[in-house]
Amino acid sequence: MWGNSWRHWGHATSPDLYTWTDHPIAIPYNDRDGSIWSGSIVVDTHNASGLFPSSSHDNIIAYYTSWTPQQEAQAIAYSGDGGLTFKQFPHNPVISQQRHDFRDPKISFHHPSRKWVMVLTYVDAVTFFTSEDLVSWRQVSVWNPGRHLGWIECPQFLEIPVRNSRKKIVGSKWLLVLSINGGGLNGAGAVKYMLGTFDGERFTPEPPGADVPESSPGLMRSGDWVAYDADFGPDKYGTAFFHLPSNDDGEHDAISISWAIDIATSYLSTPTEGEGWRHCMNGARQHWIDEGSNRLMSVPAGDISSMASKQTWNPLVDLTAVAGVEGQSTNIRENNPALDFLIRIRLPKNALKDDQTATASLKLTSTDIEDELLSLTMDFSHDESSRQTIAKFTMARQGQRGWDKQGYWSPLEPLRPMQDSKNETAAEFEIRGVLDRSICEVYLNGGIAAGTMLYFTQGVLDRIVLSRGLDGKSSEIEFDFRMVALVNSWARGGEQDSGTKSSTETGGKETMEWKIST
């Protein structure tokens, strides 16, 4: 977090990854260490560092880049009370190369060698260090992409499980994640990941598979590696991956949290100064590798259903096998709650042939300002090579009066029907979404793709239209649609959810009638 021209480490805690409590600054700027830049933490349970009186789950070491006009070096601070207070190491820095563009330490553990691993960025490459005691570090390798990708920052490196279609763990892979300033389409920021192996010193990325084209807009690959989008939306950067304290290897899913911003185009432009804040984070996500597709899966972490409003009118919508639904919600209009929704889209497997197409979309608009629009669209077509229906998903923000950033965003790869579907006659696709005041996060087909998009509308997006297209084979589409109001994560104390006001004014139920198409 910013101070008076210097940066400090802020501090927040959560019991469930949804309810957060702010604390005072954890690690402040000082004259010796300078600004406290990005990094990560380790729970030193067995006191490998010798910095603590004994073994304890409360032993925490924070690794950060110490920025001064002379250099970017790596420093540590440690806490014996579970992270409530920190002491900066008196012998900082622990790694110095007397240079800038050397930063953002991420720590993981390599079980076969019994060593800790640190990955850092050189801006155009990443480098690996190892340690047995978490204090003394030895440089062991550099991974260079062989060409300019953009400005590489905040590298993440960890082992992550591979799960089959039944969600059973069948192995593990090493995951390298890079936030790349200028690495996205049209010079936008990107968060890319690659999979591979690690021998304790050197990372070897997997080469592109047969399903990866030689070239495509936004595709990042070479002959011996390929990097996929960890988030295809416009507003993500500096993603931090981690395991929970007892889960530090490929036997447990990883968690991530991202800075919700396009570093290249929107760094200082979010219109929030009047409310006393500049940027926010996205929701925590849970990750594993899908065996069938060999892609990173992303879903909301933890139990988001625990955040559902307890009001009697919730869920707002719960419909099965309909052709569409539209209406204006009193509870959304009056209280602007966070929303969690799930749309299952079905069309017959043989519905599309040759050049036939179909379309389905969810549109959220304001009854006060009609041109403010947030839309999620699936465009379906027939893929002759696989003889399957495939879909291009697009998320868009249009006409928003509170911000001048408009646009459309899609995953680089087409979506294929969900493999876990029990429907033998229909191709099924899924859109999971979470909206919270000014951020929209979507998870497609069980998490095969995820996207984050900020929006700043002046009107409340209280009108909902779920519909199928008017031409092509769209008439054969049907939907299952469920939308739940969540306890407002911006609230301070108490439930203060979307029903606190409306339960009094409307008798505790939704006052509108949905227009349902069948």
Instruction: Provide the CATH number for the domain around residue 259.
Output: 2.115.10.20
Domain closes at, from 88, 112, 144: 144
pLDDT at 140 > cutoff 50: yes
Measured in whole angstroms, the distance separating CA 130 from the mean position of its chain's CA atoms is 28
In the structure encoding, which two tokens stand for residue 498, read together? 């979307």
Note the pLDDT of residue 5: 65
Least confident of 153-157, 167-171, 467-471: 467-471
Domain closes at, from 250, 272, 302: 302
* Contact yes or no for 497/309 (Cβ under 8 A): yes
Tens of pLDDT, residues 292-346: 999 999 999 989 999 999 888 899 999 999 999 999 998 898 888 899 999 999 9
353 and 426 share one domain? yes
204 and 239 share one domain? yes
127 and 155 share one domain? no
pLDDT at 514 > cutoff 80: no
* Contact yes or no for 402/415 (Cβ under 8 A): no
Measured in whole angstroms, the distance separating CA 164 from the mean position of its chain's CA atoms is 22
104 and 197 share one domain? no
**Host domain of residue 399:** 308-517
User: What type of residue sits at position 437?
Assistant: R
Closest CA relative to residue 433, chosen from 375, 489, 517: 375
pLDDT at 500 > cutoff 60: no
Domain count, the chain: 3
283 and 314 share one domain? no
Note the pLDDT of residue 3: 61
* Contact yes or no for 455/438 (Cβ under 8 A): yes
173-182, 185-194, 481-490 — most confident range: 173-182
Note the pLDDT of residue 496: 45
DSSP β-ladder status, 220-221 and 226-229: antiparallel
Instruction: For Cα atoms 315, 320, 326, give the angle at the middle one, nearest 5 degrees.
Output: 65
38 and 126 share one domain? yes
Note the pLDDT of residue 133: 98
Measured in whole angstroms, the distance separating CA 444 from the mean position of its chain's CA atoms is 13
358 and 428 share one domain? yes
106 and 179 share one domain? no
Instruction: For Cα atoms 103, 107, 112, give the angle at the middle one, nearest 5 degrees.
Output: 135
Preceding peptide of 213 cis, ω within 30° = no
Note the pLDDT of residue 490: 56
Note the pLDDT of residue 335: 83
Q: Which residue has the higher pLDDT, 490 or 210?
A: 210
286 and 390 share one domain? no
397 and 501 share one domain? yes
Tens of pLDDT, residues 408-463: 999 999 999 998 777 888 999 999 999 988 999 999 999 999 999 999 999 999 99
347 and 278 share one domain? no
Note the pLDDT of residue 511: 52
Confidence band of 494 (pLDDT split at 50, 70, 90): very low
pLDDT at 57 > cutoff 90: yes
Confidence band of 255 (pLDDT split at 50, 70, 90): very high
* Contact yes or no for 400/266 (Cβ under 8 A): no
Provide Rg for the chain, Cα atoms: 24
Domain closes at, from 144, 175, 195: 144
469 and 366 share one domain? yes
Note the pLDDT of residue 247: 61
Note the pLDDT of residue 489: 61
Note the pLDDT of residue 510: 54
Note the pLDDT of residue 495: 43
